[in-house]
Structure 1
Amino acid sequence: MVYESSYETGRKPFTPDLQRGKWEKPTDFIFACCGLALKLDIFVVSYWFYFDMGLFGILPYYFYMAVYMVPLLVIHSFMGQFSSSGFISAFRLSPFFKGMGYVSVFLSIASLLFYSIFAIVPLVFILHSLRPTMPWSCEGLGNVGNLTTICDMNISESDAISTLANETNFDVLHTTETHIPSVLFFKQHFESLGGGFFTVEEDSQFSWTIVGFSAMIWGIIACLFWSFPEAAKFGKLLRYLILSALILLSLCLVRFLFLPGALDGLLHFVKPQMHSMANGGVSMTIVVLQAFGSGWGSVMSLSSFNKFKTNIMRYSWIIAFGQTLVYILFGMVSFILNHYFREMSVSSYDLYIETNWVLYLSSASALASLEWANLWTIIYYSMLLISSLIVMITQIFTVLTSLFDEFEFLRVHKQRVTYGLIGFLAFCSLLFCTNHGVVFSSAVSLDAILTYSVMHLLLILAVLWIYGRERFQRDIEFMLGQPFASWKVFILRYIAPLFLIYTLLVGLFISSMEHIYQSTLVLFISLILVVLPLLFIPGYGMYITYQNTGGFCNRFRRACRPTDWYPQEMENRQQYEEVVGNSDLTHQLYEVTEEVN
């Protein structure tokens, strides 16, 4: 394969952004990637697949982490760090697959639209916690019609359960559905107090209150980008936000240990169970994909701010274990909260407590039972708000980075583009200020599993097969300054794709099960936001092929060849030319010299 410059293909050469900056500290890259694990929708959509397994069910995660999560992190980090560019321009490695970069922008923006709900909910509870009496507490609940709530169970401790059971005449076919006040409080924003959670059978209801909170969230995000526009400052912001979120999470975890049933929940979390490990073999394939953020290509863009010699091999393992710690902490909190509500109904077969979005909605009622309830509610939901903001601003940052790297004319209008994108996201996210928007977000999150699996398979094809095993191994050894074992390449080429295909099948099954209970509209939205963009990848590849000259085979080969693929810093570039050999590398200077001669 001969290296080409963009001049040979008739396309505009890549112009690096010399003002893009670097991380202030190498560990900022680790913090930024660990922050991707705060993508908390995984704790909502995968509840039945993950949170009923416990610590023993996480064991398959470590196996998947070794065979394809860490290897994929290495590939993402290699492309971003070697090219010093975001997830669009990094595909100079093989322009035929550059459409993956544009699809990544679309998927990232699509995920940001629905992810705002995970920041809106904490803000709602934080602001209402400033009131002397919280509206979801038993004192401030008010009239909820004929619905039974857990407040009705406080009649007399153990007698409350039997009283409710007697009301049902011990009919095993009839259950008393008991609602969580905090869930009802949130549903009141949509004037919907039906028996279940938001369903597509209900009429679509728009909440202007939620719109106001949404505007506040996007306003906060705009202020953060105004105050921390550069990579070094932004990395420092992420570092402190992530540390703050983990500290608050740890404080809440310690406080939750004093809830009734908390120790049973913690014991259930750490108790070895074989069926948990069996279930983990399926569900952990979902969790592993969350390492790459709410969009796709985030790690690639984040690594582009590393120094050229940063040891991405060691950092990838640190990131993997750091994200595992986040999952374990949130898993423990979820188990404790679920057992707190389960403790109320354990004495009766006729009693069902509707716990929904336990980390987001049901948790507020558990907090209301504590001393200093207002304070603990503010602390807990501040942690959730910070976690959601971390994911959102990181995703926006990677999208902007990729756009500025690819399109030179946008660099002179960075502020306009930044606030224009935030304004666009704020407007389009109004769809998810309806009760149906909550359902849509769950379905789209699950459907994204299919897309991410396909994108990773194509990435392995582009890097390890089209670009080539030998060239990849040579480049990464040059960048790291250390050997890269052939067995690692073997895992990337042969083992990782097998598990990605398995993940694809699992995602297909889960997605199909989700859409059985959803409307045609949800399916239509999923096709537009998740599935159809994949067709753009081969379409753009054919467009690049058509731009070249010669027969089809020659056009295709030239479309797959790397263009302008070399380190951006001059010193590293000169050393790379010596390693590769000048006869195998052409660039602008050589092109001009040949034309003059």
Structure 2
Amino acid sequence: MVYESSYETGQKPFTSDLQRGKWEKPTDFIFACCGLALKLDIFVISYWLFFDMGLFGILPYYFYMAVYMVPLLVIHSFMGQFSSSGFISAFRLSPFFKGMGYVSVFLSIASLLFYSIFSIVPLVFILHSLRPTMPWSCEGLGNVGNLTTMCNMNISESDAISTLANETDFDVLHMTEIHIPSVLFFKQHFTSLSGGFMYSHTGFEISWTIVGFSVPIWAIILCMFRNFSETAKFGKLLRYMVLTSLALLLICLARFLFLPGALDGLAHFVKPHVDSMVEGSFIMTVVVLQAFGSGWGSVMALSSFNSFKTNIMSYSWIIAFGQTLVYILFGMVSFILQHYFQAMRVDSFDLYVETNWVLYLSSASALATLEWANLWTILYYSMLLISSLIVMITQIFTVLTSLFDEFEFLREHKQRVTYGLIGFLAFCSLWFCTNYGVLFFSAVSVDAILTYSVMHMLLLLAVLWIYGKDRFQRDIEFMLGQPFASWKVFILRFIAPIFLIFSLLVGLFLSFTEHVYRSTLVFYISLFLVIIPLLFIPGYGIYITYQNTGRLCNRFRRACRPTDWYPQKTEDRQQYEDVVGNSDMTHQLYEVTEEDN
């Protein structure tokens, strides 16, 4: 038999949740996974990473997509779909690595905390757009002291440079700064941000206004889970939210094309550059990791709601190209807005335009120049709000799914656990309503690249080396009812780890660069979020090994053997037992010796 029974190992047997449900339509899995690409912090931190590559720089993405992104999607989908369980219980495949599931819960919750800022900011602009005069428009800007903004750049170039030379708010290499009104508007919520987003010159400061805006965000999320907690309803909700978000994105993109300098930005986006290709070969390794969402294991949990025979091979390719489309569309918007603001430099190298968080903050000032500015602002920021909510509710859904699958006693209190988790997240996310949270969230986001790279490599080790390539190939062929080529297994075992190591090195470089500008506190927070979770994985493996009996070597073997690893549907399980019962099950790591008994 390919698996051991929990009774033989002394562990509590796995009991499937009969109330977990299935997707209403198979395509809901695709929409849910494509929605993970709406994790837009990759475009926000691009402000620090000089993410200016364009369409030509995305070309290496397709290579990485074929080499290790799609294969990893297949493995994640295989584990969730075969086991019909979330990212904790799915590691019945090799209990020694089950700590990865618990670490995934921790990382998912951590990402949910800082990701709340991406829903709060759009809500701030939406509600203020309901006012007759928007506070970041040139009419409603008010007193900004001696700062030069895009609203008073209608003076002549010589006068502008003369005026800017007398300013003291920005002086690096004799450059002076043109402020964006919408950025100034957001900074007003934190007095410590008056000097910019790079440093904080004052102590800890919480914005109660931002706290007030966070309350309706978490209330909306709570209402969603109250009314759409069932899997079929939740999938339907995600489907319509993703389609609405993409439709609004296309509408806004079409309107942005009429902004001054927009066509230049679009031309720059599609123009081939060798430098972009070289830079893309490094940065795209980071972008590829965004396919798995703001946490780790989301795809695994989402695939557990598929039917057993769902063709995850074709679905993985569709998801990969769907996410690529999302990146391209947001990249086009980002380039258009960047060139719109750069056009204000009046061809002078002495001027610098402060385009911080171009998609979230600076864009409001560009929208304020349009006809029906209030309407376009509401449409654009509604798209950003829906996108952020998609990522957040999907992440919460996968965490809850994994907890209910692993801990049977929690299933009796699903509603209480759901409300409790959302309340806990709402309270802890208050950290990101402070000046430190706004300034330093990007460091946490970049550091996650290291953790996710390591966890993907451990996943390959657990599935293709510990469990075994032959067993993996047999299981996936049984599940799909079609052959799985050996060369695909070869890529997963030998090629994909090379690029994961490469992405790990790139992540180390980016993390080091990010922490150069951050405080010691952020460094310790990063250690807590990166090092401790990685240490917990072997720590839990040692604990599982200790729980077994026999000599150390035999304990380790038992800890690595699959436990209750079979399809949950009775008919599929019987067929699976017939298949594995007639196959050669010898394996050097799993051979049962007399010492085991």
TM-score, normalization by structure 1: 0.95
User: Which residue of the partner structure matches residue 493 of structure 1?
Assistant: 493
1:582: how far off?
A: 7.0
| CA offset digits 1:520-563 (Å, max 9, x no partner) | 00011111122211100000000000000000000000000000
State the partner residue of 1:126. Answer: 126
> Hey, what does 1:35 align to over in structure 2?
35
Query: Which secondary structure state, in structure 2, belongs to the residue aligned with residue 154 of structure 1?
Result: coil
Matched, 1:218 2:218: yes
Letter in structure 2 aligned against 1:166 = S
Counterparts in 2 of 1:169 and 1:309: CA distance versus 1, 3 Å: closer
Alignment RMSD: 1.5
Correspondence 1:290 to 2:290? yes
Give yes or no for the alignment of 1:277 onto 2:273.
no
| Residue pair 1:51, 1:335 contacting (<8 A) in 2 also | no
1:538 is aligned to: 538
Structure 2, unaligned runs of 5 or more: 586-597
* 1:50/1:283 contact within 8 Å kept: no
Q: How does 1:175-190 map to 2 (within 5 A)?
A: 175-190=175-190
Measure, in 2, the Cα distance between the counterparts of 1:518 and 1:193: 15
Output the CA distance in 1 between the equivalents of 2:317 and 2:358: 31
1:242-281 aligned within 5 A? 242-281=242-281
Q: Which residue of 2 is the match for residue 165 of structure 1?
A: 161
**What is residue 348 of structure 1 aligned with on the other side?**
348
Deviation at 1:346, TM superposition (A): 4.2
1:198: how far off?
Answer: 5.2
1:172–1:349 CA contact under 8 A, matched in 2: no
| Contact kept in structure 1, 2:197 and 2:439, CA below 8 Å | no
Matched, 1:577 2:577: yes
The residue identity in structure 1 corresponding to 2:160 is L
Matches for 1:313-328 after TM superposition, within 5 Å? 313-328=313-328
SS of residue matched to 1:17: coil
Kept in 2, the 8 Å contact 1:113–1:428? The answer is yes
Paired residues of 2:83 and 2:304 also in contact (CA < 8 A): yes
Deviation sequence 1:252-298 (CA, Å, 0-9, x none):
00000000000000000000010000000000001000000000000
Q: Report if aligned partners of 2:188, 2:194 keep a CA contact under 8 Å in 1.
A: no
Distance in structure 2 (CA, Å) of the matches to 1:219 and 1:135? 26
Per the alignment, residue 412 of structure 1 pairs with: 412
Contact 1:50 1:284 in 2 (8 A): no
Provide the C-alpha distance between the structure 2 equivalents of 1:172 and 1:42, rounded to a whole number of angstroms: 27
1:170-195: CA deviation from partner (whole Å, max 9, x where unpaired) = 99952221111000101101124523
2:209 aligns to what? 209
Letter in 1 for 2:415: Q
* Deviation, structure 1 residue 318: 0.2
Find the residue that maps to 1:177 and give its secondary structure: strand
Matched, 1:107 2:103: no
Residue 146 of structure 1 and its aligned partner are, at CA, apart by 2.2
> How far has the Cα of 1:49 moved from its partner?
4.1
**What percent of counterpart residues are identical?**
82
Aligned pairs (5 A) from 1:458-469? 458-469=458-469
Structure 1 residue 90 corresponds to structure 2 residue 101: no
Q: 2:340 and 2:583 mapped to 1: Cα distance?
A: 70
Distance (whole Å) between structure 2 residues aligned to residue 221 and residue 490 of structure 1? 43
CA distance in 2 between partners of 1:528 and 1:207 (Å): 25
In structure 2, the CA distance between the partners of 1:387 and 1:172, relative to structure 1 (3 Å rule), is: closer
Cα 1:228–1:468 change in 2 (3 A) is same
User: Is the Cα contact below 8 Å between 1:238 and 1:390 reproduced in 2?
Assistant: yes
The residue number in structure 1 matching 2:44 is 44
1:121 partner amino acid: V
The one-letter code matched in structure 2 to 1:382 is S
TM-score (norm 2): 0.95
Q: Distance in 1 between matches of 2:369 and 2:215?
A: 31
Shift of residue 3, structure 1, vs aligned partner: 2.1
Q: Distance in 2 between matches of 1:434 and 1:48?
A: 20
Equivalent residues of 1:198, 1:438 under 8 A apart: no
Q: Does 2:380 match 1:380?
A: yes
Q: 1:453·1:503 contact (CA, 8 Å) conserved in 2?
A: yes
Structure 1 residues 9 and 172: alpha-carbon distance in aligned structure 2, compared to 1, 3 A threshold: closer
Contact in 2 for aligned 1:49/1:279 (Cα 8 Å): no
Matched, 1:63 2:71: no
1:358 maps to amino acid? V
Q: Give the aligned residue type for 2:473.
A: Q
The offset of 1:404, in angstroms, is: 0.2
Asked whether the 8 Å contact 1:78–1:312 carries over to 2, the reply is yes
Aligned mates of 1:231, 1:531 — CA distance in 2: 34
Give the whole-Å Cα distance in 2 for the aligned partners of 1:536 and 1:469: 26
**Structure 1: tracts of 5 or more residues without a match:** 586-597
CA distance in 2, matches of 1:50, 1:180: 19
1:382 Cα offset (Å): 0.2
8 Å CA contact 2:193–2:200 kept in 1: the answer is: no
Tell me how far apart the structure 2 counterparts of residues 269 and 413 of structure 1 sit (CA, whole Å).
Answer: 51
Shift of 1:340: 0.2
Q: Aligned letter for 2:488?
A: K
Residue 189 of structure 1 aligns to a residue whose secondary structure is coil
Instruction: Sort the Cα spacing of 1:139 and 1:246 in 2 relative to 1 into closer, same or farther, 3 A.
Output: same
Q: Report the equivalent of 1:593.
A: none
Whether contact under 8 Å (1:57, 1:278) holds in the other structure is yes
Structure 1 residues 12 and 350 mapped into 2: Cα distance closer, same or farther (>3 Å)? Answer: same
C-alpha displacement of 1:46: 2.5
Amino acid at match of 2:163: E
| AA in 1 matched with 2:529 | L
Aligned to 2:3: 3
Q: Which amino acid aligns with 1:21?
A: G
| Cα distance, 1:216 vs structure 2 | 1.0
Count matched residues: 581
Contact kept, 8 Å, 1:2 with 1:584, in 2: the verdict is no
Question: What is the rounded CA distance, in whole Å, between the counterparts of 1:454 and 1:478 in structure 2?
Answer: 29
